[in-house]
Amino acid sequence: MLVPCTGRVEEILVLKAFESGADGVMVVGCMEGDCHYLVGNIQARRRVARVADILEKIGIGGQRVRMYNLSAGEGVNFAAFANEMTEHVRGLGPSPINVVRKGPKK
């Protein structure tokens, strides 16, 4: 999902991703201190932390959401972060929501 700035990533967007069946969400913003809108990525970091706290408390798992920072020119780093997040979420397994939706193993 593309947004003009991670400052646009409000808590509900991340929560909706989990309601829509995501097993994990990574929020990728600019380097801290380099925000074109001054504090967009700082706000995003706080919101991600807030969502992680909610997910932890409701049994989905706070580890399923992470924030990464890199500059727009760091394609290699982006790929590395995406791979890292993918492995991380695979390690956690499917979200409890998806386990319930899939139903008991036959």
Partner 1 sequence: MIVGNAKPIEEVLSMIEPFDKLIVAGCNGCVTVCRAGGEKEVQILASALRLAREAQGRPVEIREVTLERQCDPEYVELMRPYVGDYQAVVSIACGAGVQFLAEHFSKTPLLPGINTGFIGVTEKQGEWSERCQACGDCVLHLTGGICPVTRCSKSLFHGPCGGSVEGHCEIDKEVPCGWQLIIDRLKALGRLDLYEKLRPMKSWKTSRDGGPRRIVREDLI
Residue numbers at the binding site for partner 1 (CB under 8 A): 10-12, 15-16, 18-19, 54-55, 57-60, 95-97, 100-101
User: Least distance (Å) from partner 1 to the CB of residue 95?
Assistant: 8
Name the residue with tokens 């979420």.
89
- The residue among 26 and 97 lying less far from partner 1, judged by its C-beta, is 97
Cβ-based burial of 47 (10 A; exposed 0-12, middle 13-18, buried ≥19): buried
CB closer to partner 1 out of 28 and 60:
60
Please give the structure tokens belonging to residue 29.
Answer: 């913003």
Q: How far is the CB of 81 from partner 1 (least distance, A)?
A: 25
Which regions of 1-106 does DSSP assign to beta strands (E)?
A: 25-29, 65-69
